[in-house]
Amino acid sequence: MDTKDFQRIRAGLLERRRNLTDWLSDTPASKKKIRLGAADERAVQTHLQVLDTAIEKTEDETLGYCDVCDDYINPSRLEMDYTCCVCLEHLSGEERDRLEDDLQLSAKVQQALLPQQVPEIPGLELAAFSRPAEFVGGDYFDFFRFRDQSHGLVIGDVMGHGIAASLLMASLQASLRTLAPDHDSPAEIIRRLNSIFHHNIHLTKFVTLFIARYDPQTRSLTYSNAGHNPPLLFRSQSNGTWPLSWLAPTGAAIGLVEDTQFGEETVTLAPGDTLLLYTDGVTEAKNAQKEEFGQERLVELVRQGSNRSARELVREVRNRLEGFTDGQPLADDTTIVAGKAEGQ
Ligand SMILES: [Zn+2]
């Protein structure tokens, strides 16, 4: 570790502290509740204290000084986790295996963005649309397979945009793709991603993530929602009504609070049910009068289009958004993923 290492880590930590402080003071309560899941604001304060302690330690250059021997921890390991305080070689076999797994995962950061192909899933039609506000975006959606071959779908949003957000998202995607074949549980993958990225100095704010696992045999959809805008699920009823369920957060956004729990929930899809995942760019798109598109318009639009196929629904949301903003440039990345449960 030299002074340059400390400066680089310090810059990352200061940016994260500033972003979280701004978020606390500028975010409406309703939105905080989504991002925090079951956690509360005090957990963010605790996180800020952890950041402050680390920032102080970059000033007197004691950050990353090993508790056991008389030396600094490897700087690249410290970038991945600024709180680590012993060298790898002092850890027990199990702790060490876990960390080495994490290190290998983060080495995949340089991978290019993977192609996003909408898969063919029996009984569930899927469609997606994504448009970055800048050349590169911080939105993310993907499809993958779990260990038992059930289908995974994910949508995420790195807060902030531009190159940094985009690189972090690429790295998260690579990690998720690497983890998925060894797991059956969305919550377990989110826990792993959180443990890998939580103290990464390149995570300058936080990441919202919704991961679902769909089993075509049982039609069950199990999801874990880390502070992401709740997806909409319209249930098809024989009386022609479309009651709405929100797939609410089951945990806080990744990198927002210290020590958080991630739960999961399961719903069973019936033929005709309509699922819509989306990012902030949809509900926060503004028209010329600076009015937001908003959640209510989105709900109404999906409700009216509940008989449509997923592809038609995505096209409809897109058209309505473009009509609403009337050619105004988008301030944020916009991503929509729709799913329509079909008869068998
Ligand atoms: Zn040591």
How do residues 181-212 score in pLDDT, each as one tens digit? 999 999 999 999 998 888 888 888 899 999 99
Q: Per-residue confidence at 110, pLDDT binned at 50, 70, 90?
A: very low
- The beta strand positions in the chain, using DSSP E, are 124-131, 139-145, 151-158, 207-215, 220-226, 232-234, 244-246, 265-268, 274-278, 334-341
DSSP code at position 65 = B
Q: How far does residue 253's CA lie from ligand 1's centre (Å)?
A: 32
Rounded-to-integer distance, Cα 308 and Cα 311, Å: 8
Q: How far does residue 90's CA lie from ligand 1's centre (Å)?
A: 6
pLDDT of residue 48: 95
- For tokens 């690429």, the residue is 170
Q: Alpha carbon of 331 to those of 134, 158, 326, 342: distances in Å?
A: 9, 14, 13, 35
User: Contact at 8 Å (CB) between 184 and 168?
Assistant: no
pTM for this predicted structure: 0.82
Q: How far does residue 101's CA lie from ligand 1's centre (Å)?
A: 20
Rounded-to-integer distance, Cα 214 and Cα 338, Å: 14
Radius of gyration of the chain measured on its C-alpha atoms: 21
Q: How far does residue 74's CA lie from ligand 1's centre (Å)?
A: 10
Q: Which of 21-35, 82-96, 324-338 has the highest mean pLDDT?
A: 21-35
Q: How far does residue 69's CA lie from ligand 1's centre (Å)?
A: 4
Q: How far does residue 93's CA lie from ligand 1's centre (Å)?
A: 15
Q: How far does residue 107's CA lie from ligand 1's centre (Å)?
A: 22
